[in-house]
Amino acid sequence: MRNAIEMVGKSGASEVYAWATHGVIHLPENDIPQKIQDMDCLKYLLISNSVAIERELPEKIRKLSIAPLLAESVARSLHSDSIKAILSVTRTDTDDEQDSGTERKVDTALY
């Protein structure tokens, strides 16, 4: 991931935002958090809290709780509703001049 972030930065990106599903950086001897913090072009790295991390993380690493997603999955399962539907997102593109005011469905289950 670091290599990809650095390549994007060297290609001219002024800011890079990254996402990692499982932030496996919990071991005390792991120096990756500091290396991530030192990356100039990286604005922040967002990781889920699916792996417990007891140590303090640098400012550029942010944790996102998966608790709401798990709770919704359990509730849907109990009611025999679709769990896959959780990953379907509808958004309004108001900032994009070409699609201003239009809605499009993005099925994130495909990614």
Q: How far apart are CA 74 and CA 92, in angstroms?
A: 28
The pLDDT, as a whole number, for residue 25 is: 77
The pLDDT, as a whole number, for residue 76 is: 92
Residue ranges for the chain with pLDDT beneath 50: 95, 97-111
Contacts of 25 (CB under 8 A, 6+ apart): 32, 33, 47, 53, 57, 61
Q: Are 48 and 75 in a shared domain?
A: no
Task: Output the six-digit token pair for 67.
Answer: 């608790």
Contacts of 13 (CB under 8 A, 6+ apart): 41
Enclosing domain of residue 48: 1-65
Q: Are 5 and 42 in a shared domain?
A: yes
The pLDDT, as a whole number, for residue 67 is: 92
Q: What is the pTM of this model?
A: 0.65
Q: Are 100 and 51 in a shared domain?
A: no
The pLDDT, as a whole number, for residue 2 is: 87
